Amino acid sequence: MKKPAYDEMFDATQGVRPSYGSFAAWLDSTPAEVIARKREEADLAFHRVGITFAVYGEEAGKERLIPFDIIPRIIPAAEWQRMEAGLRQRVKALNAFLDDIYHDQEILKAGRIPAAQVLGNSQYRAEMAGVNVPGGTYAHIAGVDLVRAGEGEYYVLEDNLRTPSGVSYMLEDRKMMMRLFPDLFSRIAIAPVEHYPDLLLENLRSVAPENVANPNVVLLTPGQFNSAYFEHAFLAQQMGIELVEGNDLFVRNDTVFMRTTQGPQRVDVIYRRIDDDFLDPLAFRKDSVLGVPGLFNAYRAGRVTLANAIGTGIADDKAMYIHVPEMIRFYCGEEPILSNVPTWELAKADDLAYVLEHLAELVVKEVHGSGGYGMLVGPTSSNAEIEAFRAKILATPDNYIAQPTLSLSTCPTYVESGVAPRHIDLRPYVLSGKEISMVPGGLTRVALKEGSLVVNSSQGGGTKDTWVLEH
């Protein structure tokens, strides 16, 4: 019998942990009908507001509601302080790494990371070599996925440094909880998160090109058919900035303008939610209709800031993940505060041999994959699925890494049969500009299927409000 996972609310003897004390008492004293009614109210409200996301591969244009669970994930103050320190350290090192590999490449010269793994990686953008970005900041918005395993240690699962999404759910979940259970917020000291859009705007304005007095910030979206369009519209509205598509912008004299009814208006900072490849058909994919012709030249000339910068994909690549602790040592001169999950690189013969023998116990991921697509979770897969995946690995071993199946921590969650433990993860959002800032907590995702470890919304995951206790 496998040892049960670490539970956020209950300890091994089924006692309520101190962080959940007040909440558990409240839950016990609240009649089941009240909870049921509140849960219905939440569903209705989310439908009305239209907080949905499109699912790729399903019926075209179909929108789904992300399930929301009313039992919060609660993080004690001291735990968060340590986590925050670790996140600041990690994101600082990742930004330093990006600045370095697109300039002097000291870390490669020092032999701390094999140069071939960086320069030969398809995520390395040679076009960015020598390009200076304001403040040397590349990953202005980082979504670092953390999980808790074993006896409750936190591990970094991956660093999302391209266009991490989900922050709108963090904000909407909080709004919903405050609307449903206002009394809880007067009873328990919960750190606020609602000022995230203000922090984000301040952060974006802080990285405007030099000598721009009152920078004009816009949010560039691929459009209403993108799965995260709701979030784009939501954030633009919350920050009070224009939500633009590629054909709202144009470039003249290496300067980006937006087309307005009052004539062209200069754009200084673009919070872009479009992948690098689609940003500029003249510089990258020629068939892109989402981007802005000439944008890359304007960017290279330092006339506009892109957040995140082009080429950050190299630093959150799964092949680079294993080197992040070394980056922290190299750039910060410190030992990493947050641990990595032990990882096998299938490009190495020894690792490959080991992994092929232990497929049934491991999680195997595509190096460039995301969103929970293209991965194998050994313990929950059938023999046939494992064998099919083995063939894929053997065809291109370089394309994969493997990790032990972590027993992710669980949190009590409402499911059809009542309240049951379900696995969760955590994505805090780290903002880097003139300074590093973040709101306490982040987005907690929950795998609603019993035993499932995949929390991605596209794979049937839900979300919970995340409470960082103030003391």
Here the tokens at position 178 are 């405050």
Between CA 183 and CA 312 the distance in angstroms is: 43
With CA atoms as reference, report the closest residue to 240 among 262, 218, 207, 257.
Answer: 218
Could you tell me the smallest distance in angstroms from the CB atom of residue 268 to another protein? 16
Q: Which is nearer to another protein, 37 or 266 (CB)?
A: 266
With CA atoms as reference, report the closest residue to 219 among 172, 254, 171, 168.
Answer: 168
Q: Which residues contact 284 (CB under 8 A, 6 or more apart)?
A: 276, 277, 278, 291, 296
Please answer whether residues 285 and 277 qualify as being in contact, where contact means their C-beta atoms are separated by less than 8 angstroms.
Answer: yes
Q: How far apart are the first and last CA of the chain?
A: 37
Could you tell me the smallest distance in angstroms from the CB atom of residue 168 to another protein? 13
Could you tell me the smallest distance in angstroms from the CB atom of residue 48 to another protein? 9
Could you tell me the smallest distance in angstroms from the CB atom of residue 364 to another protein? 41
Q: Which is nearer to another protein, 264 or 371 (CB)?
A: 264
Between CA 202 and CA 27 the distance in angstroms is: 38
| H runs (alpha helix) in 301-373 | 313-316, 318-321, 324-327, 349-357
Q: Omega of the bond prior to 308 within 30 degrees of 0, cis?
A: yes
Cβ neighbours, 10 Å, residue 420: 13
Q: Which is nearer to another protein, 143 or 294 (CB)?
A: 294
Could you tell me the smallest distance in angstroms from the CB atom of residue 240 to another protein? 12
Between CA 207 and CA 8 the distance in angstroms is: 38
Q: Which is nearer to another protein, 38 or 175 (CB)?
A: 175
Could you tell me the smallest distance in angstroms from the CB atom of residue 65 to another protein? 17
Please answer whether residues 188 and 21 qualify as being in contact, where contact means their C-beta atoms are separated by less than 8 angstroms.
Answer: no
Site for another protein, rule CB under 8 A: 224, 233, 236-237, 242-245, 247-248, 250-253, 257-264, 289, 293-294
Could you tell me the smallest distance in angstroms from the CB atom of residue 233 to another protein? 5
Please answer whether residues 445 and 425 qualify as being in contact, where contact means their C-beta atoms are separated by less than 8 angstroms.
Answer: yes
Strand, helix or coil for residue 248: helix
* Residue 258 phi, psi (nearest 5): -110, 150
Q: Which is nearer to another protein, 31 or 225 (CB)?
A: 225
Q: Which is nearer to another protein, 248 or 277 (CB)?
A: 248
| Cα–Cα distance list, 390 to 346, 348, 362, 393 (Å) | 12, 16, 12, 5
Q: Which is nearer to another protein, 179 or 259 (CB)?
A: 259
Q: Which is nearer to another protein, 164 or 291 (CB)?
A: 291
Could you tell me the smallest distance in angstroms from the CB atom of residue 241 to another protein? 11
